[in-house]
Structure 1
């Protein structure tokens, strides 16, 4: 039986991505090889509880929603993550994966909606970006840039152009809380006519926390 180390399973509104606002079940896997300076889920780095995939499926079934987000930590750090997502998809759920982009996504079921972070310079983890992952993105996927300052913004614009990302999938620009003024970022996007979606973290606006509980 495949076991996963799980920090929490909870039901809330999706706070980010292009399904923002939709009732969603979040499965937060424990552990992450990265240490981004803006991380708001450091409590998921360690601990958690080992749970079989069938037990995870049973808990998810309690909630009357078709949307599931598998997150972390970095969920792909656990081998069983891919099996879990495929089983959820086979049950008819719409499954999204929140991943750092530092680990290989090539084995992820193509039905999964990948929401992949590309780490900006101020994240402290710029060197961990796995740019080969871009080749595995399709039109239903999304790439997120967390912008903390002008350097991050200019770098993100450069990556956007270098890889023609907006021709491949949706692009999300998100201001780093406490470092990047959201209005200033929005104005830059409009001034430069970038083909990106500006996003704020809805759960932090509604509940002032990381999870949206």
Structure 2
């Protein structure tokens, strides 16, 4: 494993979770539904979907958990990021689909809403989904021949471990701060010597 966990789920901006701590449990969402109403969601609260082509079961989850929300699609990642950014800056209510690792989490650390826990098979029938998305452990894959060679890089790859937060930060350096990948890597290495030494077996 790389140390990264792929996470998909429902998120709210930090200010909202701080002001209404129980909003991070799906069982309390209906009492806040009116807060999320928009012209696009009508009489229901708006749930901001991302891109309909993404892996998502949000409409089924809303229906099967009997939540008073309407899924409105942002249209893509950039639109979702901008919506969450504005929601945090302007202290506006927003709940929507997001995922990590993702560089934006280093700018605005969105807070995940707890849905009913994922269990094997709970998403087999797309129309009946009423559970959270599964977490995915990201793994390393290398050629067998190379892994048994005497290359000094083999141990580096074997020892490599970092967190979603580490990856989010390096990705932010590149995507938001305009650094080259080499500059971003150098900055992170300078700030995390202990982790790098562990990778190198130092």
TM-score (norm 1): 0.29
TM-score (norm 2): 0.30
Greater helix percent: which structure? 2
Q: Which has the higher contact order (CA 8 A, sep 6+)?
A: 2
Greater strand percent: which structure? 1
